[in-house]
Amino acid sequence: MTSKELSNGLLRTVFILFGITLVLFLCYKLSTLMVYCIVSIVFSLIANPLVKFLKTKLKFKNTLAVITTLLLFILLVISFILLFVPLLISQGENLSLLDINALEASYNELFQNITSYLESHNINIDKIVNPEEITSKIDFNFIPDIFNGILSLVGNFGMGLASVLFISFFLLKEKDNAFRVFKFVLPRNQKSKILTSIDKILHLLTRYFIGLLIQLFIILVLYLIVFLIFGIENAFIIALLCAVLNIIPYLGPLLGMIVASILIMISGIGDHFVSNTLPTTLYVLIGMFIVQLIDNNFSQPIIFSKSTKSHPLEIFLVILCSGILFGITGMIVAVPTYTALKVIGKEFLPENRIIKALTKDI
């Protein structure tokens, strides 16, 4: 290798590294815009069947079908806002008058009730944890800070919603034109494979996201029934929160149970702990566990297996590995990403034995 070839190779490497660094820097700086684009793409996948229904069954024009779909989504968002506004206002007033010392006293009372109950059954909690050490490390002043953060998030919600709706409008309306331009710039020798991959990915992901919404709705209804049976205050809000947490595979249901049990026990501070609050909490947890059994044996297999054409064990391992490598975000995006990679692998590496075994049902 001559010195000229070596210098050209080094320059090429430097330019490639510079290009990669520039792309990563832009992705970091434009992360908010990327989130808007990703949300818009997901929403477009979910809304596209409704747009098709309006165009084919009701004979709407393309633009009218898209506008109608977006208006229905806006009405849905407004309905949720109107549902939560009274609760947010009342909670805002409560937090503005919040006595941190009283809250800490309530927490200590709750912890003391749990300790007394365990000691009555010959369980010494001091051997397991040190209650005074736990109490000293908890600073209840974080609650107003959380509320202020929520207000800031609500303030940015309008801008984010407007951006997502604007991007989604053109994704739905100009989908055919954009696809024609995209097909024009594709390399001819790979065009058919790329287009087939995109078509399969969009089909599978649309089924997945719609199925996920149906799953969350089923869980919301079942949780709400459980909470109403046992007379839990703010049953709908707690059920909705637990249903949303269920988006996180495997870890979400556990977090939902923990959140629900804490809210129920704190709300029952004034009642007799052993005869009322604790049994109610345990019954609710049993009911939530039954809901998860129903979800794990009926809802999840349909969504994660049938909609993405993957084996349940395969999905479990993918989610587990993604969680270890990338945390909660990795667990949430694991199934859609893995599905897309499987489709791409089937189209471009069809003779590979591993890919052939993994994609036999696609």
DSSP 248: S
pLDDT at 95: 46
pLDDT at 4: 67
Residue by residue, pLDDT tens for the chain (362 residues) are 566 667 777 778 878 888 888 887 887 777 778 778 888 888 887 888 888 889 888 888 888 999 999 999 889 888 877 766 665 565 455 445 445 555 556 556 666 777 776 777 676 665 555 555 555 555 545 445 545 555 555 556 677 788 888 888 888 888 777 777 777 777 777 778 888 888 888 888 888 888 888 888 999 999 999 999 988 877 887 888 888 888 887 788 888 898 888 777 766 555 565 567 778 888 999 999 999 888 877 777 777 777 777 877 788 888 888 888 877 777 878 888 888 888 888 888 777 788 887 777 77
Question: If you write DSSP's letter for every residue of 260-302 in order, what string do you get?
Answer: HHHHHHHHTTTS-IIIIIHHHHHHHHHHHHHHHHHIIIIIHII
pLDDT at 98: 46
pLDDT at 289: 93
Q: Is the dihedral of CA 98, 154, 268, 109 positive or negative?
A: negative
pTM of the predicted protein model: 0.65
pLDDT at 291: 92
Q: Is 293 exposed, middle or buried (0-12, 13-18, 19+ CB in 10 A)?
A: exposed
